[in-house]
Structure 1
Amino acid sequence: MTLFEIPRPVSGDVVDLIIDDHRMFETLLRELRDATADRATARATLANLLIAHGEAEEAEVYPRLRREDAITGHEEHHGHVEHAAGNEALLALLEAKGTDTQKFDSAVEKLAEAINHHLGEEEQTILNGARADVSAKERAELGQAWLTRRSKLLDQDCGDIENVRRIVAEAAREGLLEEAESEE
């Protein structure tokens, strides 16, 4: 067991579950800023959770919320763009040699900016849309589907640097990173 165990619930309201992960991202970012913390473990944990969380959202949550008219196509696409930017920042953090360098600290801050921006927007637009326009029963079904996908990805060590490189390369081919840069 690592110091930062990723919770693995099997059911719940998708909105609450996603927000729980958001709070864990914030905790892990604080650990990454702390020179006395186990930064290597925090980095690995954050990589796995961030990739599993985002990939499961894109596969299970965003399409269903769009079908329910809880979010627009623009909001769905914007979520993809922000995930791509976060994944690119995550890759830079994973590529930093060691955890006690300026390069590492700079990569942590760039990742924190991307994550914090996305969390704020997602909680205000996408998740509020889900709360307002999707029934509790449907949010529970969606929560289970999201958790199932998330757990499968976590079991595959989805935050491995080679997988993150693959995901970032795919986002670049799709033009998502260019869109993220133009929004800055």
Structure 2
Amino acid sequence: MPDFPIPRPVSGDVVDLILQDHRLFESLMREMRDSTADRAAAREAFADVLVAHGEAEEHEVYPRLERRTEDVDAEEVHHGEHEHAQINEALLALLECRGTDTQKFDDAVEKMNEVLQHHVTEEELTILNPAREEVGEEERATLGEAFLRARSEQLDQRPGSEDNVRRLVEEAHEKGLLPAQEEGGS
């Protein structure tokens, strides 16, 4: 069993489920900051759940909320996708750190935290609050099941691998969600 097991609920209110993942991200961030913790295992769990969460939101949650809520529009959805791309870019830098006991790793953790906290705060205010207010309980449960199914399928594929995150970042550059890469790096 991994040092940092990732919960895999099978049902729930989509808003509550997303918030639970946000708290899990915060917990794993604390572990990555703790020099006495198994930072490599925390990073691996963090990467997997972060990518699975983001992909499930983009494919199952954002499109449905855009159709069902007045306050979640195409601009909010695009902004969320843009922020997921920034998160994946920061995650790639974190994954590229070969050691977990270096200043480079500590700096990458702090950059990851900065990008992630900005997104989490904004998403909770501009997407999740309207969803809780404007989407009925039954629909939020249906959305929760779809989110969890997609999240679980992602988790089964080790989505936080460095190669997969690199692919996601490259796709984000191609889609224009991230600025064009300069020659010789990002």
Give me the TM-score of the superposition, normalised by structure 1: 0.96
Is the contact between residue 88 and residue 165 of structure 2 (CA under 8 Å) also seen in structure 1?
yes
Query: Which residue pairs with 2:116 in the alignment?
Result: 115
Structure 2's unaligned 5+ residue stretches are 181-186
- Cα displacement (A) at 1:178: 2.3
Query: Which residue pairs with 1:102 in the alignment?
Result: 103
Query: Which residue pairs with 1:52 in the alignment?
Result: 52
For residues 140 and 108 of structure 2, the distance between their equivalents in structure 1, rounded to whole angstroms, comes to 35
Letter in structure 2 aligned against 1:61: V
Query: Which residue pairs with 1:74 in the alignment?
Result: 75
- Cα displacement (A) at 1:101: 0.7
Other structure's SS at 1:178 match: coil
Which whole-Å deviations, capped at 9, do the CAs of 1:57-103 have from their partners, x for residues lacking one?
A: 00000000001134111100000010000000000000001101111
Which whole-Å deviations, capped at 9, do the CAs of 1:4-57 have from their partners, x for residues lacking one?
A: 110000000000000000000000001111111100000000000000000000
Is the contact between residue 93 and residue 108 of structure 2 (CA under 8 Å) also seen in structure 1?
yes
Query: Which residue pairs with 1:41 in the alignment?
Result: 41
Query: Which residue pairs with 1:132 in the alignment?
Result: 133
Which whole-Å deviations, capped at 9, do the CAs of 1:124-143 have from their partners, x for residues lacking one?
A: 11001110110000000000
- Cα displacement (A) at 1:161: 0.7
Query: Which residue pairs with 2:24 in the alignment?
Result: 24
- Cα displacement (A) at 1:175: 1.2
Letter in structure 2 aligned against 1:8: R
Structure 1's unaligned 5+ residue stretches are 180-184
For residues 141 and 98 of structure 2, the distance between their equivalents in structure 1, rounded to whole angstroms, comes to 41
- Cα displacement (A) at 1:172: 0.7
Structure 1 runs of 4+ aligned residues shifted over 4 Å read: none
The answer to whether structure 1 residue 175 and structure 2 residue 176 are counterparts is: yes
Letter in structure 2 aligned against 1:47: A
Structural RMSD (CA): 1.0
Flag the structure with higher helix content.
1
For residues 2 and 110 of structure 1, the distance between their equivalents in structure 2, rounded to whole angstroms, comes to 25
For residues 151 and 137 of structure 2, the distance between their equivalents in structure 1, rounded to whole angstroms, comes to 20
Which whole-Å deviations, capped at 9, do the CAs of 1:102-136 have from their partners, x for residues lacking one?
A: 11011000000011000000001100111011000
Query: Which residue pairs with 2:85 in the alignment?
Result: 84
Other structure's SS at 1:173 match: helix
For residues 134 and 24 of structure 1, the distance between their equivalents in structure 2, rounded to whole angstroms, comes to 24
- Cα displacement (A) at 1:2: 1.2
Query: Which residue pairs with 1:182 in the alignment?
Result: none
Report the number of matched residues.
Answer: 179
Letter in structure 2 aligned against 1:38: D
Letter in structure 1 aligned against 2:153: K
Query: Which residue pairs with 2:183 in the alignment?
Result: none
